[in-house]
Amino acid sequence: MPDFLDRFGQTNSEGEKVFSTVRSGLIVSLLSIGTLFGALIAAPIADRIGRKYSISFWNVIISVGFIIQISSDRDWVQIMMGRFVAGLGVGALSLLVPMYQAESAPPWIRGAMVCTYQLFITFGIFLAACFNYGTVTHLPNSSASWRIIIGLGWVFTLVLGIGILFFPETPRFDYSRGKVDRARETLCRVYGATPNHWAIHTQMEEIETKFRAEKIVKGNPFTEFIGMFRAPRMAYRIFIGVTLQMFQQLTGANYFFYYGTTIFQSVSINSYITQIILNTINFVVTFIGLYLVEHYGRRKSLISGSAWMFVCFMIFASVGHFSLDRTTPQNTQGAGVAMIVFACLFILGFATTWGPMIWTIMAEIFPSRYRAKGMALSTASNWLWNFLLAFFTPFITKSIDFRYGYVFAGCNILGGLIVYFFVIEGQGRTLEEIDTMYLEHVNPRQSSKWEPPSPEEMARIRREAGVDLETAVHAESDEETLQRNSGSHTDKAVGKEEHAGTAHVP
């Protein structure tokens, strides 16, 4: 935007206003740094005050970030810090919104429900592209061209920040705070069933079993965090979460949105129209992802998406490096058209698979006790790689041009392999069943055929995994009783030996 460039750009040796690679990189990437910290900070707050009130609070933080940016006159550092503050709220909401959806939605639509998070992200980006085009067309030399765009963000923060207050808290959080009746009532409203319905009864039993065990062993925040990595299969799940979020960025989707303007110049389309075209495709095809996630599952969709994006990037990078005139793209319109086609096909693959479905998996794989913390670490990984790519991509593309696409092509193959060997299929499962699948070491390649065991079998699985906490606590109570009655060191040792097998399985 001309006015934004005039106010915050640098003057080069020829007297022209420009953004240096470092300055533009910092302005773009400080948002991602803010989101990284926001995602980490949001977890303990959400565990203390609840999901819905946390969502409302972080919308206030985003609004403050908007104020800092809009009030800036000529200071680019103020714009940068405003984006950092807004990023804190964006990062927190990227954790809290999928968590709220996953903890509230019935299992048979949970995948599609969480995917709507990504759907409305793409909708917001599409609207931003349209608003950018409108303001720069009608108000090119006015600060309104960029201040209006930032100010419109208040509309959406108000809708979410105030609207969430009219929704119930998640049933799992309510139950953890002793509000059992309210948790049951929320489940009834979400499921559209009566309190005596078998689905409500089963869900309440599963939630009760998990939370009763978790409440018994809860410690201080530090020991809770350290204990998370030592808990059965949690390090494995954190690895999956962090790795998948990293590879969501390394698919290369943002490469097209940030640097797709060059190829569109080959057919004389300006940058604002380019963004509208790409983001329209991104938004519209995300609806397909809502269907795929519940009809074909997470694993098949993600693996197919990886293969699709690999092919698109190989062709895109090859044509860009060997055929496109990068200095004057208009001289090679044929190459430009081919690259535009495969850029759009890539976005089709990303927006229907890796874009929305990674958020679904993040909201499913962690047990309730560690869900906020596990999702926080995973989401922080996403924003960290978002920052690294946003900041370093201009430097990399200057050195290796479109061959950068080969890097993303390789990452897509690696991401597909991670899904194939490590990710369990969660389609149609309750959160408690998915937790049991990880504890039972279900083979990811056979996970779609897994049948949930009976409650008695679930108890056996927890004992063998070392997480039958109620048994452990009973053992500890018996041990304390023996110690009090005997008062001798020998009896204490005997009590410990007798109950060690009950409390822990080697």
pLDDT for 264 beyond 50: yes
Cβ–Cβ under 8 Å, residues 103 and 171: yes
**Closest to 360 measured CA to CA, from 172, 121, 108, 99:** 99
- Hey, what are 181's tokens? 């009746």
**Closest to 263 measured CA to CA, from 316, 348, 345, 340:** 340
Q: What is the pLDDT of residues 417-450, one digit of tens each?
A: 999 999 989 888 877 788 888 888 889 888 888 8
Q: What is the pLDDT of residues 175-200, one digit of tens each?
A: 878 788 888 888 888 888 888 888 78
- Binning pLDDT at 50, 70 and 90, where does residue 258 land? low
Q: For residue 472, what pLDDT is reported?
A: 43
Cβ–Cβ under 8 Å, residues 255 and 389: yes
- Binning pLDDT at 50, 70 and 90, where does residue 490 land? very low
For 69, residues 6+ apart whose C-beta sits below 8 A from its C-beta are: 78, 79, 82, 83, 86, 150
pLDDT for 298 beyond 80: yes
CA dihedral (167, 170, 174, 180) positive or negative: positive
Q: For residue 312, what pLDDT is reported?
A: 93
Helix (H, G, I), strand (E, B) or coil at 193: coil
pLDDT for 477 beyond 60: no
Least confident of 160-164, 254-258, 357-361: 254-258
Helix (H, G, I), strand (E, B) or coil at 453: coil
**What are the CA-CA distances from residue 260 to residues 118, 243, 342, 473 (Å)?**
21, 26, 11, 59
pLDDT for 453 beyond 90: no
Q: For residue 496, what pLDDT is reported?
A: 38
Rounded-to-integer distance, Cα 365 and Cα 492, Å: 40
**Closest to 374 measured CA to CA, from 208, 463, 243:** 243
Rounded-to-integer distance, Cα 168 and Cα 185, Å: 10
The phi and psi torsions of 123 (rounded to 5 degrees) equal -65, -40
pLDDT for 452 beyond 70: yes
Q: Could you tell me which residue, 496 or 111, shows the higher pLDDT?
A: 111
Longest dimension (CA), the chain: 93
Q: For residue 218, what pLDDT is reported?
A: 57
Q: How does DSSP classify residue 11?
A: E
With b meaning 16 or more CB within 10 Å and e meaning fewer, what string describes 82-102? bbbbbbbbbbbbbbbbbbbbb
Q: Could you tell me which residue, 352 or 331, shows the higher pLDDT?
A: 352
Q: For residue 237, what pLDDT is reported?
A: 92
Cβ–Cβ under 8 Å, residues 84 and 62: no
Q: Could you tell me which residue, 106 or 218, shows the higher pLDDT?
A: 106
Helix (H, G, I), strand (E, B) or coil at 43: helix
- Hey, what are 273's tokens? 């129209």
pTM for the whole structure: 0.74
Q: Could you tell me which residue, 336 or 182, shows the higher pLDDT?
A: 182
pLDDT for 267 beyond 80: no
The phi and psi torsions of 17 (rounded to 5 degrees) equal -85, 130
When pLDDT is averaged across residues 21-39 and rounded to a whole number, the result is 83
Task: Kindly state the helix (H) or strand (E) to which residue 397 belongs, with its residue range.
Answer: helix 371-400
Q: What is the pLDDT of residues 52-65, one digit of tens each?
A: 899 999 999 999 99
